[in-house]
Structures are given as C-alpha cells and as structure tokens.
Chain A
Amino acid sequence: MSENILDIKDLRTSFFVEGSEVRAVDGVTFQVPEGKTLGIVGESGSGKSITALSILQLIERPGEIVGGSINFKGEELTEAKNARMRDIRGNEISMIFQEPMTSLNPVYTIGQQLRESYKIHQGLGKKEGTKRAIEMLELVGIPSPAKRVDQYPYELSGGMRQRVMIAMALACRPELLIADEPTTALDVTIQAQILELIKELQNDIGMSVIMITHDLGVVAETCDYVAVMYCGKVVEYADVETLFENPRHPYTVGLLNSLPRHDVDQDELIPIKGSVPAPDEMPTGCRFAPRCPHASDICSKLPELETQEDGNDVRCWIYTEEWDGEKGVAVYDREHTT
C-alpha cells in the first residue's frame, strides 16, 4: 500500500447565510494514495466542489472551514499561513475547473496567464516564461503553440481553453491535481480526449489526481479509488473495482441503476426517487433515508462510516448489528432488469 499524499479527516465547511448555518461539507473523510486517482462522485450540491476548494483554502465569505483536518504530505493545511498556501496553490496542488469558457481571464493573452505561474513559483522572466509556456501548450496538444501563446481566450474553442487550463495547472508539475468536473462543459468527443490527456500527463509527471465528477463513466475510466458523496458526507469509499462490483450504499446503487448499461438487457432505467433535500430540511438521521427504498426506523439516526470486510467504507445501518429492517436485504442486484 502506497503512502497517502492527502489525508482528509472529518472536514467541515459551512456557509453562514442570514444567521443560519448551511453545512456544505459535513464531516468528510477520505485519502488520496500517492500517484493514484481518487474520484469524488455525487449529485450537484453534494459538496464535491466545496471539498476541493477547502483543500486549497479558497473558501470565501460567507463560507468557512469550521473543523477537521486536511493533511497534505504531513502538513496541516487548515493551519497553514496565507503565504504558505499561495506557495502551494498552482505549484504543489493545482486545480482545473468545470467552466473552461469563463475560467480564463478575458483581457490577458494565454501566454501572459501561463507565464504568471512560472513567475510566481519559479521566478522566471518573460523570455524564459514564454518558452516554457509554449512547451506546456505543446504538451497539452495545442496546435501551433507559438502562435496561440499570443492569443486571447475568446479566440480559442472550449476544448482548447480547457487544454490551456490544464497547461496552467500542470505548469509547475504539481504533486496533486484537483480536476473539478473538467469535462462536463465539453462535447463528448472532446471529453474523452481531455480525460486521456490528464491520464497521460499523470503518468509522465507522477502526480496524484482528485477527479470530481457526477459521471460514473468517467470514474470507471480514470479512477483507482472512489468516494461517493451525498449531502456533504461521504457515504461510501472503496477502490473502483469493488465499488462497481459490489456497491453497498443504497445511494451508490441508485447511481449505478440510473446509468444505462450494455452488459445486461435493460427495459428501463431506475431513477433515484425524489431529489436532494434543501439545506433547511436536511434529515437529522441518514441523509438519504427519505429517498432510500430500504429505509427503516433506525435510519432516523445518523450511521457512521464503517469499514466492511471487503474493504468498502460504508455509511449505512444495513451493514450493522443494529439494523432493524429486513435481514439480508439485496441492496444491489447485478443482473437486475426492471
């Protein structure tokens, strides 16, 4: 087992709006093993992006990290000084964002924006910075990089801009890359190219990756480990094969069932009933209970994230001694058709 480059324990990030606290990230725990890719999966509003921004200490008012620990290579980031965090950002930990169309500054050229990273973290001047910027653009597969380097973002397509974002993120060869839905806004053909690119560069540089997505297809293709998030909590954490072979949490099962499959004959997809609860009507027990087909009385209490014999960490009463519902309930029926 390799070392963990990132170890997050009980991370809590809240937003304080009009006197009430919205717990966007509510006790998240997971690890990113060195050189591996961790997928964070969940619906919109499950706290995936806030978790990512918390790692980089980029939470802004009215948001605030209210508790927990973020351990990066033995260093506690929640206690790091601003200057140290700036040193880490874009250098040791980089991030690429969901929206390539709006994530580049419209009034500066690609080259100016790429050079800035080299200037901040490596003290490179204009000439050397431009040279490195062109190399980086070439690396991420941008044609005629020497010309592109002087262009403005509006002159590039969405896919090209996301490549520029990746070039910027990887400019200083980070040890950890956080990719927040890097392909969501792109065409399907471009999506595959971008994922392939991230994977290739990961092998070249030897970095670890956190891949945030709501697309289980992306997870299956790119990740080694998966954390499934629901309403600010991790409900299941496992290596990718175990998760797809033997998902334990009813929410994970729900996500898998709502995916079209080609290996079994399927008459229809089974959606998860209901929708994500609003912050002010969050259940006090298991967050998923109101939508869960197996929910029982005990689900009005909050279950812990507990390790199962095959290595999954699951937050569900079904797998505990206390379970008061149907014994041996088949949560996941692999061969299920309707």
Chain B
Amino acid sequence: MTTFIIRRLLQLIPVLLGVTILVFSLMHLTPGNPAVIMAGESAPQATVEAIEQRLGLNDPLHVQYFNFLGNALQLDFGTSIRDNIPVFEHIQPRFLITLELTIYSMIFAIVLGLLAGIVSAVRQYTFSDVAIMVVALFGLSMPNFWLGLMLIQWFSINLGWLSPTGWGDPDQLVLPVIALGTAGAAIIARMTRSSMLDVISQDYIRTARAKGVKERVVIFRHALKNAMIPVVTVIGLQFGYFLAGSVLTESVFAINGLGRLIIDAILQRDFPIVQGAVLVVSVSFVIVNLIVDISYRFLNKRVDLN
C-alpha cells in the first residue's frame, strides 16, 4: 500500500508540470502585450518598459517559465498588479472559503445522492423510484446559478428564512450548498442506482441472503461496498465540477471565494492572481483524484493502477 501511494505521488509530477505550463501560457497566449494591457493603452512607453522589466517579460520564454515554476514551488506567485500585495495573501483566505463551500456541497451531494440512489435501486420501478429519478433529472438539468436565484427568491425574499448573501454563519451556508450540490447529488444518485441494481443481481448477494443475512445488512454491507467502486470515480470527477461551479455560485450569493477572485482578476487583467488561483484550483483537483485512486484501492483489492 505504501509503495502504491509513493508510486502514485511520483506520477503526479508530470501532471503538475503540465498544469504549470498551461497556467504559465495563460499570460502569453492572451493577445497583446501583457505589460501594455496592465499599464493601459495610453500609458507612456517608459511605464510599459518598467512593467516589462519588473515581470521579466524580456527574458527568453523558458527562462521566464523556470522562474515562474521556481517561485510557484515556494508559493510565491508574484504580487497583484492592482495593489502590490502578494498573490498568495489574496488567494489564501479566498481559497479556504471556496474549499469550505466545495466540501460542504460535496458532503451534501454524496449523502443525498447515495441515499436516493440506494432507495431507488432497492425499490426499483415503484413510485419512490420513479419520483426520485424524476427529481434527479430536474436537479441535473438546472444550472446552479439559476437554482441559486430561485432559492434566494423562495427562501430569502418570500419566506425570509435564510440569508441570501455572504458566507460564515450557518444560515448563510444552506442556500449556496444546495445550489452547488444539487446537480452532483443527482448524478451520484443516478450512478448509485444503476450500480446498485447491477450488484444486487449478482450471485454473491444471493449467497449472502442464503446465509441468513438481514436484508438491511445485505444492502449496506454486501451490495453497497461493491456498488461504490464506480460511484467513487464519479464523486472524484464531481469535485472538479464543484470547484468550477463555485465561480457562479459565489457570484450569485456574493461570497468572497476564490471563484469571485478569479473573475474580478480576469476583469481587471490581474494576471498574477489569475495564474496563482488557477494553479491552486488545478492542484486541489489533482490531489482529490489522488485520494479517489487510493480509496479505490481500499474498495477493490484487485485494482492495480500501474
């Protein structure tokens, strides 16, 4: 197991290098001279040259990349163009908020999705199954920003139960978590249902019943662990969508998370912040997928990921 984890960690190196190359290219693939964009069209030539000098834009591309990489390894993404505060200080508090939002939404999606999927599978073709799957289809089809707006309309404006904006207090958490987590819950529910149906018809489930195992234990112990194997993959992928979806959710609910930081930075052409933030998001996605792979190993001992 330890060798497996070490090997898997080593495999991350090329992936992360690829990520840094893409993030680095962001600045250079954007049309126009970054220094001119930052300084503004009408800025004097001297200002533009000063910025070029400061950002090292006159160095050969590979030198610039290795500088960027070396700094990034020390969590140094440069300073914001707007206020000269280090990018890391901008990102850190914002990232923690987004991480919180994503994790709560993930928990919401996993718990709701698994329960709905299991009930649906165990009661296949009954009213509860059809009802759950119809609701899941709606959940899947609603864009999270639209769902967010509807939730604000019902629960904040009409009923006045929950706060429509901000982050931190419990009553501020509920709506964004539902808005962001619903689509994921729907996907997990559908995946769990089909995976459970497949597993329930397997011979070893009949064996368990023939041993005198209680039906509840058959479902949760014998069937669920097998059914989780494909579901875990979907959960890992969902995490990526959640990070991306948080950009919209944070805008709707006025949450000062990483998503809003990225949007603001793009609008203000604050490239160091965009680079740093995208890099942080990418690395978290890669790490989550590593965790998924490892938990895969726990579920199915036969998996050899090499």
Contacts and interface: CB of A to CB of B under 8 A. Distances in A.
Most buried by A among B206, B207, B211: B211
A289 interface: no
B202 A86 contact: no
Interface string B219-241: 00010011000000000000000
A106 B212 contact: no
A120 B208 contact: no
A116 interface: yes
Contact of A88 (B207, B212, B213): B212
Contacts of A97: 203, 206-207, 210
B299 interface: yes
A102 B208 CA distance: 12
Given A107-B301, A152-B302, A154-B302, A94 B210 contact: yes
Interface in A136-151: none
Given A58-B206, A97-B206, A103-B207, A90 B212 contact: yes
Most buried by A among B212, B213, B226: B212
Nearest to A98: B203
A337 B204 CA distance: 45
A104 B302 CA distance: 14
Interface residues of B, number: 19
A117 interface: yes
Given A103-B203, A103-B204, A152 B211 contact: no
B226 A89 contact: no
A157 interface: no
A107 B302 CA distance: 9
Interface SS of chain B: helix, strand, loop or mixed? helix
A168 B214 CA distance: 17
Given A107-B299, A107-B300, A152-B302, A102 B204 contact: yes
A117 B211 contact: yes
B28 interface: no
Interface string B176-217: 000000000000000000000000001110111111111000
A241 to B, nearest CB: 32
A91 B213 CA distance: 11
A120 B211 contact: yes
Contacts of A58: 206, 209-210
A116 B207 CA distance: 12
Contacts of A95: 210
Nearest to B229: A107
B199 to A, nearest CB: 10
A78 B299 CA distance: 38
Nearest to B301: A152
| Tier of interface size on chain A | 20 to 34
A97 B300 CA distance: 24
Interface in A96-115: 97, 99, 102-108
Nearest to B210: A95
B204 A89 contact: no
Interface string B295-306: 000011110000
B207 A89 contact: no
Interface string A237-275: 000000000000000000000000000000000000000
B207 A105 contact: yes
A140 B57 CA distance: 76
Contacts of A88: 212
A104 B203 CA distance: 8
A179 to B, nearest CB: 12
Contacts of B210: 56, 58, 89-90, 94-95, 97
Nearest to A100: B203
Contacts of A154: 301-302
Interface string B271-306: 000000000000000000000000000011110000
Most buried by A among B208, B214, B226: B208
Interface string A149-161: 0001010000000
A87 B211 CA distance: 9
A94 B206 CA distance: 12
Contacts of A89: 209-212
A105 B222 contact: yes
Contact of A104 (B204, B214, B225, B300): B204
A78 to B, nearest CB: 17
Nearest to A99: B203
A260 B32 CA distance: 87
Contacts of A102: 202-204
A165 interface: yes
A184 to B, nearest CB: 13
A39 to B, nearest CB: 20
A120 B213 contact: yes
B226 A90 contact: no
Interface in A107-133: 107-108, 116-117, 120-121
A231 B126 CA distance: 32
17 contacts: A56-B210, A58-B206, A58-B209, A58-B210, A86-B213, A87-B212, A94-B210, A95-B210, A97-B206, A103-B203, A105-B204, A106-B300, A107-B225, A107-B300, A120-B211, A121-B212, A165-B207
